[in-house]
Amino acid sequence: MDKTGISNAFRTFLQETPAYSGAWMEMVQKVDAANALDAKTKALSYLAVLAAVGLTSGVPFHAQEARKLGASRDEVIGAVLVGLPAAGNRVIQALPAAIEAYDDEK
């Protein structure tokens, strides 16, 4: 993980497979554009999903993005933990990465 919060795996995906990653990013942008939620809400919601499904490698980047969009530290923590009743304590695995990335001044 570098200072951008992008995992080594995702960076490798972007650099080594431009056709795949380009298609992936195009889909992501189209889905994002179709979503009626405001940017901060989408960022917090995405953090909640990452935590719930256990994809913690994406948490730092998305915690930083949420901060840039105006999310407070408590909102980022709340987003990570909102899935606790449904997904169980697996969501707490994302908490350290979210807090560290949020607190990391760029």
What does CATH list as the number for 8-103? Answer: 1.20.1290.10
Helix crossing, 18-34 with 8-16: angle to 10°?
A: 110
In tens, the pLDDT along 30-82 reads 999 999 999 999 999 999 999 999 999 999 999 999 999 999 999 999 999 99
- Can you give the C-alpha Rg of the chain in angstroms? 14
Helix crossing, 73-81 with 59-68: angle to 10°?
A: 140
Tell me: pLDDT of 15 over 60.
yes
State which amino acid sits at residue 26: E
**pTM for the model:** 0.86
Say what percent of the chain tops pLDDT 90. 88
pLDDT at 106: 56
pLDDT at 4: 72
